[in-house]
Amino acid sequence: MIKARVTVTLKNGVLDPQGKAIEGALGALDFSGVASVRQGKVFDLELEGADRSKAEADLKAMCEKLLANTVIENYQVELA
Amino acid sequence: MKAAVVLLPGLNRDRDMIAALTKIGGKPPRTVWQTDTEIPDVDLIVIPGGFSFGDYLRCGAIAARMPVMRAVAEQAKRGVMVMGVCNGFQILLEAGLLPGALMRNASLKFVCREVKLQVANANTAFTSGYAPGQIIRCPVAHHDGNYFADPETLARIEGEGQVVFRYAEGTNPNGSINDIAGIVSATGNVLGLMPHPENLIEAAHGGNDGRALFESVLGAAA
């Protein structure tokens, strides 16, 4: 079994209203010095088999086809 | 006019759309389910609004990967008119049948109200019943209608007249770039829009500004 983590984040230049709202709420909690917050998503996957290069290729395909919307999002794949 | 309405779990504007198509098109549309791999021979395929698959992952993301959407893409490629309203617009974008993406409203709030739309291109199969630049009333109801496209894509769709509806007179309810409310594909036969023209077609709705959109399609199909 291969464990993997996929992180999906908004591309630079894409407005993130939710990140902005979180940034504001952190300020309201008196956390000073938070210059910016960008919200993203994390997916933890368990893949059957032991072929790490196949797993990596499959995960990239999953990101391209479903997990990320590459119009607005970047993704990063990490194998444990 | 022969029309088909795509049904997916979580959509909730399908009945309104079916009613509008029946009243204006003269007969009830066929319905196709998410697992259908073929769509009957029709002039227009409509994906109505709602919250398909609970908006999980991203609005429209799961629906766009259902088997029926491959059939919709095939029909669109053949030149059949396809219209996605609200969640239907989100699904068409996620399916890659239209360019860009719809993000969370800039206000972070769900908006349910009437807006004014400017007909930015009256030279399409969906808008020929309107005058160029005409301002119409139309209801909106959405949480993720904030249209975004990268600068290159935006310049292309603006240059090619693919922006067909814009929020007018300061009524942009969601922060959408260039006030974009609806766009067509480069081929002109696929329309996606956030507002709900099906909810303003008769006196009982308080107006009929949405009716010309359906009548335009009817004319194009004749």
pLDDT confidence of residue B27: 94
H/E stretch holding B18: helix B14-25
Stretch B189-208: mean pLDDT, rounded?
97
Sorted by sequence, the CB contacts under 8 Å of residue B140 that are 6+ apart come out as B111, B112, B113, B114, B115, B173, B174, B194, B195, B196
Residues in chain A: 80
Which residues of chain A fall below pLDDT 70?
A: none
In this prediction, residues B5-23 reach a mean pLDDT of 97
Chain A residues whose CB is inside 8 A of the B57 CB are 66-67
Query: Given this model, what pLDDT does residue B109 score?
Result: 95
Segment B120-127 mean pLDDT: 98
Residues of B with a catalytic annotation lie at: 86, 196, 198
| CA–CA separation, B166 and B9 (whole Å) | 29
The predicted structure's pLDDT at residue A64: 97
* B130-155 per-position pLDDT tens digit: 999 999 999 999 999 999 999 999 99
Query: What span, in angstroms and rounded, lies between the C-alpha atoms of B220 and B222?
Result: 6
Q: What share of chain A is helix, strand, coil (3-state, %, to 5)?
A: 35, 30, 35
B150·A18 Cβ contact <8 A: no
Residue A17's pLDDT is 87
For residue A66 the two structure tokens come to 């479903």
Q: What is the pLDDT of residue B88?
A: 98
* A21, A67, A72 member nearest B148 (Cβ): A72
Mutate to test the interface with B, among A42, A69, A70, A74 (most CBs of B within 10 A): A69
How many angstroms separate the Cα of B25 from the Cα of each of B18, B44, B205, B222? Answer: 10, 11, 18, 11
Distance from CA of A17 to the nearest CA of B (A): 6
Strand partners of residue B180 = B166
Residues of A with CB under 8 A from a CB of B: 13-15, 17-18, 21, 65-67, 69, 71-72
Model confidence pTM above 0.90: yes
Q: What percent of chain B has pLDDT over 90?
A: 99
Tell me how far apart the alpha carbons of residues B212 and B210 are, in angstroms, rounded to a whole number: 6
Q: What is the 3-state secondary structure of B122-176?
A: CCCCCCCCCCCCCEEEEEEEECCCEEECCHHHHHHHHHCCCEEEEECCCCCCCCC
Instruction: Tokens for B86, please give them.
Output: 């609200």
Q: Do B148 and A71 touch (CB under 8 A)?
A: yes
Q: Tens digit of pLDDT for each residue in B64-114? A: 999 999 999 999 999 999 999 999 999 999 999 999 999 999 999 999 999
* Residue A63 tokens, joined: 């990101």
Predicted-complex ipTM score: 0.86
Instruction: Read off the pLDDT band of B191 (50, 70, 90).
Output: very high
Percent of chain B topping pLDDT 70: 100
Q: Angle B105-B51-B162 (CA atoms, 0-180°, nearest 5)?
A: 60
Which residues is B167 bridged to in the sheet? Answer: B117
B118, pLDDT greater than 90: yes
What pLDDT, on the 0 to 100 scale, is given for residue B196? 98
Is pLDDT at B192 greater than 90 in this prediction?
yes
**B104 in contact with A, Cβ within 8 Å:** yes
Which residue of A72, A73, A75 is the best one to mutate when testing the B interface, meaning the one whose CB has the most B CBs within 10 A?
A72
Of the candidates A18, A66, A67, the beta carbon closest to that of B108 is on A18
User: Bridge-partner residues for B6, per DSSP?
Assistant: B32
**What DSSP designation does B24 have?**
H
> Rounded CA gap, A59 and A62, in Å?
5
Residue B133: is it exposed, middle or buried by C-beta count within 10 angstroms (0-12/13-18/19+)? exposed
Q: Work out the pLDDT band at B183, boundaries 50, 70, 90.
A: very high
What's the rounded mean pLDDT across residues B21-31? 96
Per-residue pLDDT tens over the stretch B200-211: 999 999 999 999
The predicted pLDDT at position B147 comes to: 97
A8-23 pLDDT, tens per residue?
A: 999 998 988 889 999 9
State the virtual CA torsion across B150, B93, B166, B86 in degrees, nearest 10.
-140
For residue B130, the model assigns a pLDDT of 98
- Strand extents, DSSP E, B168-212: 180-184, 190-193
